[in-house]
Amino acid sequence: MRKKELKLIVTFHTTADAMAMEKACKERGVPGRLIPVPRVISAGCGLSWCAETAEKENIKAMMQSVGIQEEDMHECMV
């Protein structure tokens, strides 16, 4: 298994939210990818957006401007 790193994990209420997130990030060149929600986090939707922790404010601002609602934001080892 690869070594774990500290990442920003954004969770969502629905798959549609996760899809909206991926699309918005791709369109705006915001790095990251969809991964299964890590076991340490309890979330509604099984998909989460995984990105570098340094991107947190950037991602928050982007989500607000696009109107995507997160369920939660975590920083954890994945």
Positions that interact with other proteins (CB under 8 A): 13-20, 22-23, 34-36, 44-47, 67
At its nearest, how many Å lie between other proteins and the CB of residue 26?
Answer: 10
Task: For other proteins, give the closer residue by CB, 59 or 68.
Answer: 68
Rounded to a whole number of angstroms, the minimum distance from the CB of residue 59 to other proteins is: 18
How is the beta sheet containing 72-77 ordered, strand by strand? 33-36, 47-51, 6-11, 72-77
For the bound state, the minimum distance from the C-beta of residue 68 to other proteins, rounded and expressed in Å, comes to 10
Half-sphere exposure (Cβ direction) of 41: Cα atoms closer than 13 Å: 26
